[in-house]
Amino acid sequence: MCSGSHALKLPSPNLSSPPSAICDGVDAAVDGCIGRLRLMRLSHNIKSVGFATFVMNVVGVDERGEAVGGVMSYGGGGEGTKRETEICRDIVGGREEEYHQTTGAFIHNSYLPGQVRDFARRDPAGWRRVKRLQTVAGCVVGRWLRTAECPMSYSEASWTGLFDVRSKGWAWEYVDMLMPLGGGDKLPPV
């Protein structure tokens, strides 16, 4: 196993940086690890590359796998996301406990529904261009494999607020209820 510290240099100090800049930073970190393995004459032993991400970080990608809009993260969004989250709360109505039991999440601006609704409201043309919602990890892997179709892990999906913790798939009732038009079609396989 090779690991090492690598400073991720981004144009913005948080996930508001363009997803391509985040992917470039990950590529540089992986290149650094592989470079160290080459110096030790061990690079021929590479069997796989893996990395972990923490909580939700989702970006819309087009049919070429290029990012559309910024990263939606568990850090939440701005006032627009808060307003859209309140709309989600109103839509669910008195079923918030049922929603919580299904998804393990509460209706909160840290989760995907309010953030995606805000994105679709602010940039309807951008939302229409989105083919798939991917995690940052999915964007990196998609870039490496030259595909826009990367599955989302159970762990990643569980941080969206739309994952059914019992069936281990999307909570389609809530996806259909809370996501903007066509949102369910943009979710990746889990």
Residue 166: pLDDT band with limits 50, 70, 90: very high
Interatomic CA distance for residues 181 and 6, integer angstroms:
40
Q: Which CATH superfamily is domain 53-186 in?
A: ATPase, nucleotide binding domain (3.30.420.40)
Percentage of the chain exceeding pLDDT 90: 51
Q: HSE (CB half, 13 Å, CA atoms) of 49?
A: 16
Residue 12: pLDDT band with limits 50, 70, 90: low
What's the predicted TM-score (pTM) here? 0.82
Give Cβ neighbours of residue 34 (< 8 Å, ≥ 6 apart). 2, 43, 46
Average pLDDT of the chain is: 86
